[in-house]
Amino acid sequence: MVLSRLLDLLFPPRCVSCAAPGSWWCDECSRRVVPVGVAPAPGNGLDGLLAAAVHRDPVTRLVKALKYRHAKAVAPGMAAMLAPLVRKVPGSDVLLVPVPLHPRRLRQRGHNQSALLTEALSESTGLPMSTALIRTRYTQTQTGLGRAERHRNVRGAFDWTGAALSSKTVVLVDDVYTTGATLAACAAACRTKGARQVWGLVVGKR
In the complex, the smallest distance separating the C-beta of residue 3 from Zn ion, rounded to whole angstroms, is: 25
In the range 13-72, which residues lie near Zn ion by CB under 5 A?
15, 17-18, 20, 26, 29
- CB nearer to Zn ion: give 26 or 170: 26
CB 158 within 8 Å of CB 185: yes
Q: Where are the beta strands (DSSP E) in the chain?
A: 35-39, 48-54, 94-98, 133-135, 158-160, 169-177, 197-205
d(CA 49, CA 41): 8
User: Which of 24/177 has CB closer to Zn ion?
Assistant: 24
- Rounded CA-CA distance 101/134 in Å is 7
| Min dist. Cβ of residue 50 to Zn ion (A) | 24
If the CB atoms of residues 26 and 189 are measured against Zn ion, the closer one turns out to be: 26
Contacts of 145 by beta carbon, 8 Å cutoff, 6+ apart: 153
**25/160 with CB nearer Zn ion:** 25
Q: Which stretch binds Zn ion (CB under 5 A): 11-19, 132-140, 156-164, 181-189?
A: 11-19
Q: Which is nearer to Zn ion, 17 or 169 (CB)?
A: 17
> Which letter, b or e, does each residue of 86-99 get, where b requires 16 or more Cβ atoms within 10 Å of its Cβ?
beebeeeebbbbbb
Beta carbon of residue 17, minimum distance to Zn ion (angstroms, whole number):
4
Instruction: Please give the residues from 104 up to 133 whose contact with Zn ion meets the rule CB under 5 A.
Output: none
Q: How far is CA 191 from CA 10, 68, 83, 188, in A?
A: 48, 31, 24, 5
**Residues contacting Zn ion: total by CB under 5 A:** 6
**Whole-angstrom distance, CA of residue 176 vs CA of residue 73:** 18
Taking the complex as a whole, how short is the minimal distance between the CB of residue 104 and Zn ion, in angstroms? 34
Is the CB of 8 or the CB of 93 nearer to Zn ion?
A: 8
Stretch that binds Zn ion, among 10-18, 60-68, 143-151, 162-170 (CB under 5 A): 10-18
Q: What's the burial of 21, exposed, middle or buried (CB within 10 Å: 0-12/13-18/19+)?
A: exposed
Contacting residues toward Zn ion, per CB under 5 A = 15, 17-18, 20, 26, 29
